Amino acid sequence: MKRSGRLVALTNFFLENPRIHKNLPSFSNKYNAAKASISEDLDIIDELLREEGIGYLKRSAGSTGGVMYIPESSRENGIEFVDWLCERLKDPNRILPGGYLYMSDILGEPSTVREIGRIFASKFSNLEIDVVVTVATKGIPLAYAVASFLNVPVVIVRRDPKVTEGSSVSINYVSGSSRKIQTMVLPKRSFEEGSNVCIIDDFMKAGGTINGMVSLLKEFNANVKAIGVLAEADDEEEERMVDEYTSLVKISDVDIKENFISVQRGNFI
């Protein structure tokens, strides 16, 4: 195989298999090339990934040495994407009765959700996350996007137990916005005790749902290392129940009478 072909094949492997460690001899055998040639190929790919702002190759030396792709979103790419997202959310046609905001179209776009996942994964890449947890249902695509870049499984917290998931742990929690008592359930086999967890959700107002997930995860002795939300509501009248979190956009005002939405960057920077 010519170098041009190897570069394409290697780049495709890394993009499709983030955070998977591979030693150089395996590439040498597969492409019938010397380790020195493969090493030069990796230098070229690493330089390109960094220039594009989509990650880098992490290499290790020694007998067990090798390489893995660490996907990241550069600061510039992240800001550009979030600004574009803010402009889309400012569309007054998104205002729903009751002052809610329509976001289902964004959560249904694979390319958009994938980039959201990349940004969150960049923020949490050094936290040794074992599992991504979300609550059904709108946070599910975001959770899978983040998990795909972190190369970890997804666990979904539900409102009702499922017979097919075996015995479960359930708790009652107070919804931050409605102040209603609600229930959430998580199967006992979801993950090992003591796992490092990243919570992902699509929207946070007062944070009651996320606070409920944190309480539920305590039953598994899990370590909540990170919390990521696509959008947060900036409501001074609501007492925030969650302090440490990362948001991409902040919705500070939805004016139904004036048909106006105020959206700005979240705290991800």
The residue among 43, 71, 99 that closes a domain is 71
Region of poorest pLDDT, from 9-13, 103-107, 205-209: 205-209
Confidence of residue 257 (pLDDT cuts 50, 70, 90): confident
Q: What are phi and psi of 139, to 5 degrees?
A: -80, -10
pLDDT for 176 beyond 70: no
Confidence of residue 63 (pLDDT cuts 50, 70, 90): low
- Residue 15 and residue 96 in one domain: no
Mean pLDDT of 63-72: 87
Mean pLDDT of 205-224: 93
User: What is the CATH number for 162?
Assistant: 3.40.50.2020
What pLDDT is recorded for position 255? 86
User: What is the CATH number for 65?
Assistant: 1.10.10.10
- Residue 182 and residue 213 in one domain: yes
What pLDDT is recorded for position 199? 98
- Residue 62 and residue 82 in one domain: no
257 or 55, higher pLDDT: 55
- Residue 29 and residue 116 in one domain: no
Mean pLDDT of 171-185: 81
- Residue 109 and residue 235 in one domain: yes
Tally of domains within the chain: 2
239 or 221, higher pLDDT: 221
The residue among 19, 48, 71 that closes a domain is 71
Give 113-168 pLDDT, tens digit per residue.
Answer: 999 999 999 999 999 999 999 998 899 999 999 999 999 999 999 988 888 888 99
Host domain of residue 63 = 3-71
Mean pLDDT of 254-266: 90
The residue among 21, 41, 71 that closes a domain is 71
